[in-house]
A and B are shown apart, each in its own frame.
Chain A
């Protein structure tokens, strides 16, 4: 039976989807109340942000004789277009839209088409966005509880844990997390001895660390792959046990595509990820405004895509042009709405949040 067929006469199931509706309405209300503009950006676009780790959906725009005019893509996020609007002067804004990522089947946390929320604040530090996250999720929790006829509370139950949403949320830097959970002295090398800082970013060094830990390593493994493998095996499972939201911040530059470098430490970026109950809910950047650096990172990524996937993609040169005119200092975040709904529905499967969840099977 298809998911939508199960809805017939099934009040409990309808209630789940009505809760999703409520959550999306409450998000919209929250941002409108905070004087954010709601924007709409295109889904079908001629350029993409080159991200070698994402697979884009490709198609062709055709003329009336069915001849190909140009390659088109479905957006993997609205980021590039929202930033063009920021350059044009829109100010604080948000968007609730669809995004598309290919080759992500076989996961309880991904759907090829998903609903994404992005918001941007002008003249704001990335931790200002964290305040927004705290307020937004508390607000949503109140709405959800009210909808269920429950009294107001800061607690949320997720997968058997009672999570206290009371701000300020716990913050842990990547280097702290690395030394605390993975016993790698990231912090020392990064903060105390600037000349040694680059050391940890050395492929050979992390390769040796990973090998000693018993990972299966190859000379060709990239720094990002090894860093992420250690993070996923040794840090993420520990974050999942915490009974409060946790914000992991200041990621190494090689794992942050569009984030700004930290002025006081060139090896780190202004970025945080938000986890609640082990669910990764959002990815926030102090936005990179330097068009030269953005161009360089784009070229590197495009080169990687060409090497790894043997395809040539069209880089959004328009976006670089926009940065050249000047992106105001700002911070922004992408939040997976389906994952937020997972949290409030207390489910570990994204398909429980989607009426048409099984169409790709």
Chain B
């Protein structure tokens, strides 16, 4: 396990906290006014799923937990469980919705995703910065197509709704930021 410092802390990384493996799910810089700065984190225990807040002194060190990244193909969804297949071992793995988070709204069957494993247990997923998805339903943009600010809601192939500019049509492939669910750009038209 590598020793890291708060300046290496990032949302999504895994550290040992009170002898248990935790993921940093949120972090904030804090400056209380006098004295040194701090890093306030939200830590999720990856064994129990419980979250807690802890504020580290700036510069404090922690052990980073080695996490394996496996490429897995998303096969199908069964209730709230997502079934993946490991591309190396061809073994199937069930991953709970909570582990994947909101990204599940943007997953396409058959696509390959990077799954994070700790002691053979799926603990998270490495999200791409953007995903490209087909627009399957969109109202026709009416007049004012050139007004950059006007918005409408479209439905993508995974069923998720996204707010886009008026010029987006059914059949367009658009890029979306899966973390915020925000429209980024039009990739191309099918």
Interface residues of A (CB under 8 A from B): 1, 5-10, 51, 53-54, 101, 103-110, 214, 216, 221-222, 224-225, 227-229, 231-233, 237, 254-257, 273, 283
Contact = CB atoms under 8 A, between A and B. Distances in A.
A105 B39 CA distance: 11
A216 B61 contact: yes
B40 interface: yes
B189 interface: no
Given A5-B149, A233-B55, A227 B29 contact: no
B149 A216 contact: no
Nearest to B144: A9
Nearest to B11: A106
Nearest to A233: B55
Contacts of B151: 9-10
B31 A110 contact: yes
B36 A228 contact: yes
A221 B27 CA distance: 22
A9 B147 contact: yes
Contacts of B30: 107, 109, 232
Contacts of A8: 147-150
B98 interface: no
Range of interface residues on B (Cβ < 8 Å): 20 to 34
A273 to B, nearest CB: 8
Given A8-B147, A107-B29, A53 B57 contact: no
Contacts of A104: 29, 31
B31 A53 contact: yes
B34 A256 contact: yes
A6 B53 contact: no
Interface in B107-126: none
Interface in B34-77: 34-38, 40, 53-57, 60-62
A9 to B, nearest CB: 4
Contacts of A106: 27-29
